[in-house]
Amino acid sequence: MSSRGPGRRAPRASRAARTPKPGTSGGPFSDQAKHRLISAESKPVKLRADEAEENFRAVHDDDGTRLQKVLASAGVASRRVSENLIAEGRVMVDGLTVIEPGVRVVPEQVIIHVDGVRLNLDVEHQYVMLNKPAGVMTTMSDPEGRRCVGDFLTDEQQAARLVHVGRLDYETEGLLLLTNDGDLTHQLTHPSYEVPKTYMAELRGSLPKRAGAQLKAGIELEDGPVAADAFTHMGSSGGKSMVELTIHSGRNRIVRRIFEHLGHPVTRLVRTAIGGITIGDQPQGTVRELTGREVGYLQDLVSGPRQPEGSEA
């Protein structure tokens, strides 16, 4: 019965949140209230009677829960407003628009979008974001007593057994996701899903103009080729250069090794985004819960076609 929802978004460099310092704003969700999932600009969708009936039969499960109740439980709106959203054709189940409030679904077995935004129907798992400072180990504990990711979590988050999604090295700052959702962790870190990550890097020396084209075309490192998905040279001053780089490779210290190869070592490195999820104005050293909209975005990001294992740009 289940089929994939809208395809995942293509990798793009984040044009917002250039640095993770307090006061910075931006990101793809900054124009909406944190928990608002309904767009005031969305236009109702009209279906022919036969289309509506066909979609109803395709997604309806007699043993399921009424769709408006599922929406209300997910925090979208009240049941009455949710009924209106369904009737207006603004709700999709497994990629099919449904307009009959009487439809029943099993939440654990379907993918639901409202106004194009995927709902997070998982109430068992936790998802948080840490703005990691430099000088912090990406481990949940450290036998040598060094500061680590686990030091920033509450007792409740520690008890929930959150783990970091991928790694940032000791001196790298910025966005680090933590969750106890093992499936999503695997998908976000597995190279076949090609999840893009965006970094701001301060480099030693003046980077030549040709570097951008060179990185997009690809360079050869000791463990194989690598190419940038997007690159912007922000400028050079005082013997240093500032660049923004989006890359989907998750190899160890890959960004630092790229610029060492070019002869311009990294002096400061900050991860500002994973896909379209940005660090925004979140202060360093703080943890916040991801919104349902952000979790739904991440689930959509890894729901598209995978690249064959072992393939990489």
Long-range contacts of the stretch 70-74 (C-beta < 8 A, 24+): 70/105, 70/107, 70/112, 70/121, 71/112, 71/114, 71/119, 74/37, 74/112, 74/119, 74/120, 74/121, 74/292
Q: Closest Cα to residue 255, out of 135, 138, 136, 169? A: 169
Which of these is catalytic: 115, 142, 169, 281?
A: 169
Does 169 qualify as catalytic in the annotation?
A: yes
Residues belonging to the chain: 313
CA angle at residue 184 from 167 to 166, to 5 degrees?
5
Which tokens belong to 59?
A: 């997604």
The string over 286-296, giving b where at least 16 C-beta atoms fall within 10 Å of a residue's C-beta and e elsewhere, is: ebeebbbbbbb
**Active-site amino acid positions:** 169
